[in-house]
Amino acid sequence: LQHLEAKIENKVSKDFPTVKFLNYKNRKRILVTGGAGFVGSHLVDRLMLAGHEVIVVDNFFTGRKRNVEHWVGHENFELVHHDIVRPLYLEVDEIYHLASPASPPHYMLNPVKTIKTNTLGTINILGLAKRVGAKVLIASTSEVYGDPNEHPQSETYWGHVNPIGPRACYDEGKRVAETLSYAYMRQEGVSVHVARIFNTFGPRMHMNDGRVVSNFILQALQNDSITIYGSGKQTRSFQYVSDLVDGLVALMASNYTQPINIGNPVEHTIEEFALIIKDLVGTNSKIVELAAVEDDPQRRRPDISRAKKYLNWEPKVPLAEGLKTTIMYFAKELQKTKHSQKN
Ligand code: NAD
Ligand code: UDP
Ligand code: UDP
């Protein structure tokens, strides 16, 4: 058997140089919903490189086949085009449940669908987990804290969310997803993990994502005006995507079942953030102030004591380093777009 495994490993490593080959005992079948999206595709890379079998379920609303195409054809990988609002029947050991639009312009495009995805979709995933006895990790969000009255936000804070505002489809959708997770845990014994993810950035963010990182970088790269919504005094704390993936994998491996913040506690005003990007890109872009958006949270910074204590996790990538990689990614994407427009 060892000889056979070595032979297969040799074949795999020829096609996919860095894939390890796990023996059957350690290899898991892992479902990643939303695996063709920004965060999901980085997580898929990590799980595939560790030698697991990975099934991606995605309806390609905001995700793209391109994000995972390098795995298509690999024997450990499967890409399923499916909308999680409808039931799905698979046999898996672990589920990372990431399917949901994440950027405000995307989730506001179809608020009803955003609610259905986070409620009905999450029920289907928890129903599946219950049937097959899989561990589930739910991708929740710092938005469950709304426009917070407590700063920094720790997991014990219950939040301050407008239930009928333009962000409610997402914020309340995720709050129900959390409620559902703990109801399935208490009533049905499902093993759940809840990650409250704070603002994350990196390569493979959608060009038209509309979030601040992609907007500012693209504006700076094209010498367009950098658009600040409102005074620019509102704050956010940005984490690089590889740190988030480390945190998600550590959470899944742990026995910790309470919600846990995964984010980088280094906080900046949006105005400072615009200047940092302007400086890193070296652009002449003007910085302009546009109207404030409704219900925009004014301050956001994670308290990550829980993640440090229970997962031995903290972010490693400094903001400037992560931004440089992301700027290079967007510069290449712009070149590709220009090239395809010419042809
Ligand atoms: P993304 O939009 O890039 O990825 C979401 C993926 O889910 C996409 O591939 C999309 O096509 C898929 N999807 C959406 N609705 C679906 C449905 N009904 N059925 C099947 N697939 C569906 O977003 P992301 O930034 O990668 O976010 C991933 C997860 O992390 C989301 O659940 C999001 O709420 C959460 N999150 C992200 C951030 C962040 O800053 N990126 C912050 C907090 C929470
Ligand atoms: N479900 C699913 N896949 C499964 C098991 C369940 O999609 O493998 C869906 C099923 O359609 C159901 C939901 O998950 O509507 C919740 O399942 P649960 O067992 O809690 O509810 P019930 O089937 O008893 O209504
Ligand atoms: N923002 C901005 N200009 C932009 C996009 C966003 O000033 O072009 C602001 C936005 O109002 C918010 C912050 O940047 O205060 C983060 O916005 P994003 O949409 O990235 O994420 P979220 O509000 O969900 O944290």
The mean pLDDT of 2-18, rounded to a whole number, is 48
Q: Ligand 1: which residue has its CA nearest to atom 15? A: 100
Q: Ligand 3: which residue has its CA nearest to atom 25? A: 199
Where are any strands of DSSP class E within the chain?
29-33, 53-58, 77-81, 94-97, 135-141, 192-197, 200-201, 226-229, 235-237, 239-240, 260-262, 267-269, 287-290
pLDDT tens track for 117-156: 999 999 999 999 999 999 999 999 999 999 999 999 999 9
- Using a 6 Å cutoff on CB, does residue 117 contact ligand 1? yes
Can you state the angle between helices 319-342 and 212-221, rounded to 10 degrees? Answer: 60
- 248 CA from centroid of ligand 1 (Å): 14
- 112 CA from centroid of ligand 2 (Å): 21
- Using a 6 Å cutoff on CB, does residue 238 contact ligand 1? no
Q: Say if residue 8's pLDDT is above 50.
A: no
For residue 11, what pLDDT band results from cuts at 50, 70 and 90? very low
Nearest ligand (C-alpha, residue 291): 3
In the block, residue with structure tokens 């070296």: 282
- Using a 6 Å cutoff on CB, does residue 181 contact ligand 1? no
Picking from 192, 35, 34, 29, the residue whose alpha carbon sits closest to that of residue 126 is 192
Picking from 18, 26, 21, the residue whose alpha carbon sits closest to that of residue 4 is 21
Atom of ligand 1 nearest to the CA of 197: 43
d(CA 187, CA 27): 29
Picking from 159, 160, 140, the residue whose alpha carbon sits closest to that of residue 258 is 140
Coil/strand/helix, residue 30: strand
- Using a 6 Å cutoff on CB, does residue 89 contact ligand 2? yes
- Using a 6 Å cutoff on CB, does residue 134 contact ligand 2? no
Kindly list the distances between the CA atom of residue 222 and the CA atoms of 142, 205, 225, 286, 289, in Å, as whole numbers in the listed order: 31, 17, 9, 11, 18
The pLDDT assigned to 21 comes to 63
- 128 CA from centroid of ligand 2 (Å): 6
Burial (0-12, 13-18, 19+ Cβ within 10 Å), 139: buried
Q: Say if residue 4's pLDDT is above 80.
A: no
Type of residue numbered 5: E
> So what's the ipTM on this one?
0.98
d(CA 281, CA 275): 10
Atom of ligand 1 nearest to the CA of 204: 3
For residue 23, what pLDDT band results from cuts at 50, 70 and 90? low
Kindly list the distances between the CA atom of residue 70 and the CA atoms of 14, 31, 84, 147, 334, in Å, as whole numbers in the listed order: 14, 18, 24, 39, 21
| Full-model pTM | 0.94
CB-CB neighbours of 74 under 10 Å: 15
Instruction: Measure the CA dihedral 105/107/113/116, to 10°.
Output: -170
- Using a 6 Å cutoff on CB, does residue 37 contact ligand 1? yes
Q: Say if residue 92's pLDDT is above 60.
A: yes
Atom of ligand 3 nearest to the CA of 228: 7
For a substitution probing ligand 1, which of 100, 113, 174, 326 has the most ligand atoms within 8 Å of its CB? 100
Atom of ligand 1 nearest to the CA of 39: 26
The contacts found for 85-89 with CB under 8 angstroms, 24 or more apart, are 85/113, 85/116, 85/117, 85/120, 85/121, 85/124, 86/124, 87/124, 87/127, 87/128, 88/57, 88/124, 88/128, 89/128
The pLDDT assigned to 16 comes to 54
Nearest ligand (C-alpha, residue 199): 1
- 61 CA from centroid of ligand 1 (Å): 9
Q: Ligand 1: which residue has its CA nearest to atom 21? A: 58
- Active-site positions read 170
The mean pLDDT of 154-171, rounded to a whole number, is 97
- Using a 6 Å cutoff on CB, does residue 197 contact ligand 1? yes
Q: Say if residue 339's pLDDT is above 90.
A: no
